[in-house]
Structure 1
Amino acid sequence: MPRFAANLSFLFIDLPFLDRFEAAARAGFKGVEFMFPYATPAGEIRTRLDANGLSLVLFNLPPGHWDKGERGFAALPGREDEFASAVDLALRYAEALDCPRLHAMAGLTTHGASRDAYVANLRLAADWAAPLGIDILIEPINTRDMPDYFLTRTAEARDVIAEVGKPNLGLQLDLYHRHLMEGDVEAAIAEFGPLARHYQCADPPDRGEPSLRTIDYAHLFRLIDASGYDGWIGCEYKPRGATRDGLAWPAACGVTLG
């Protein structure tokens, strides 16, 4: 059965960031992911990972001016030098933290996102990451949670991956985003699972803990397992209460966190 990683940008957020690592380990997680590490020195994160026996499985490249509404800039023309600097910074963090996957956010259509810029920047990122054994991932994101995001459809992600043509560019398949944008999550696992280097999960409509209601996560986790996927599933959900109080879902879905 795939392993589950706590997304520390969503879980245990009643605690300071560095204290969330111990909380995740105590809850039974063996892996963690988060959105952006760059406000914290890599050495401090490394210490928390090692002290708690945790693997860091994923984080994002710098997203641009997040507080001003930017949501990445991999697809934004004219930002190539800034994107290259972001790749360099992310790779230095990934090396220090033994993180094998980085998510490159595309940016927004309203900011001028372009397919040509996206493909060129992803090629650069993949080329720079390859000698380090690091995968670059792209993720279709729903436009309810992130209006005007450039990449929203799973087939579009597949086509971009094919056009870039780099073996270390893969798909980050978030089952919640897929459900909201296109539905038929089971079919997505069957069709796009071979491209998936990382999964994420949350329960629609409120992005809460996985359940058996709108999406039958017990069934989906079995399908992912049967596909031969042996990576991680990121728990990028918004707890409906305290994180610890919502951790009955693994037993209900027939899985264990580790």
Structure 2
Amino acid sequence: MPRFAANLTMMYAEHAFADRIAAAARDGFAAAECLFPYELPAHDLKSRLDENGVELVLFNAPPGDWAAGERGIASLPGREDEFRRGIDQALDYARALGTRRVHVMAGLREADTPYEAQRECYLRNLAWAASQAQSEGITVLIEPINPRDMPGYLLNRQDDAQAIRAALGAANLLVQFDCYHCQIVEGDLAMKLRRDIGGIGHVQIAGVPQRHEPDTGEVNYPYLFALLDELGYGGWIGCEYRPRGATSAGLGWVRSYLSDRS
């Protein structure tokens, strides 16, 4: 039986961020994820999670200056000290919140930096982050993102992400399989899940191409949910989509799964 986590960054936008946990819990979600939890002190966020019986299963490490367009700094030479401070902050939050997965964004290609220099920087930083997280029992995730939504992002393909994971060889470094991004870049989702399931640490979903609820668009999600069960995937499935309207009104596709909250 698939288990679903509400994405509090994209879903429940009709509520203030701090109130989205309670809204998700009322709809039956036992877990949540978000891009960045840092606008709230960790102890306040933990209190809200505990009050509502919700587990925060994933968030991102600090991405640099998001408002200015940065999308991660792991691959940016010269930003290593800032990157390490960000990982320290993410691990502090993960420890306080009981979160076991942290996504580290790669960053955008720099026009004046050779690709290989960025990739080498990325691998060095990932190796360091994984080593820091290992003692905390935390998994570091990397995620291929499609270039339509995020032009210039360094990592676009699942096979490339899996090659990075294999090259570094850290047991706590896994790949985030976002079906929305993968469908746009590569397609053939079922075969890629079969090929890579051993290296996948988190799954996310959204309708393609508009990134709304996963009950519309070109992807047959019920088939993929059954496949994930067949493959023995026991992790959470993050609902990283933009609701067409009010979030709760669009949850018909997931009601039967949430009725047995676990």
TM range (shorter): over 0.9
CA separation in 2, counterparts of 1:36 and 1:227?
30
In the TM superposition, 1:37-76 aligns within 5 A as 37-76=37-76
1:200 is matched with which residue? 204
How much has 1:213 moved relative to structure 2?
4.2
How much has 1:256 moved relative to structure 2?
3.5
Local SS of the residue matching 2:254: helix
Residue 170 of structure 1, aligned match among 168, 174, 177 = 174
2:163 is matched with which residue? 159
Deviations 1:132-169 (A, max 9, x none): 10000000000111011000000100111111111000
1:101 is matched with which residue? 101
Q: Which runs of 5+ in 1 are unaligned?
A: none
Percent of aligned pairs with the same residue? 49
Q: Is the 8 A contact 2:208 2:216 kept in 1?
A: no
Local SS of the residue matching 1:10: coil
Q: Is the 8 A contact 1:212 1:218 kept in 2?
A: no
User: Quick one: which amino acid aligns to residue 149 of structure 2?
Assistant: D
CA separation in 2, counterparts of 1:215 and 1:183?
9
CA separation in 1, counterparts of 2:258 and 2:234?
14
1:29 is matched with which residue? 29
Deviations 1:181-221 (A, max 9, x none): 00111111111111111000000110010126410000000
How much has 1:97 moved relative to structure 2?
0.1
User: Quick one: which amino acid aligns to residue 154 of structure 1?
Assistant: Q
In the TM superposition, 1:189-228 aligns within 5 A as 189-211=193-215, 213-228=217-232
Local SS of the residue matching 1:108: coil
Deviations 1:98-137 (A, max 9, x none): 0000000000013646110011000100000001100000
How much has 1:39 moved relative to structure 2?
1.4
Number of positions where the alignment pairs a residue of Structure 1 with one of Structure 2: 256
With structure 1 as the length reference, what TM-score do the two structures score?
Answer: 0.96
CA separation in 2, counterparts of 1:120 and 1:165?
12
Residue 117 of structure 1, aligned match among 117, 121, 127 = 121
Give the aligned CA root-mean-square deviation in angstroms: 1.2
**2:77 is aligned with 1:77:** yes
User: Quick one: which amino acid aligns to residue 155 of structure 2?
Assistant: L
With structure 2 as the length reference, what TM-score do the two structures score?
Answer: 0.95
CA separation in 2, counterparts of 1:195 and 1:149?
21
1:90 is matched with which residue? 90
Q: Is the 8 A contact 1:103 1:138 kept in 2?
A: yes
1:16 is matched with which residue? 16
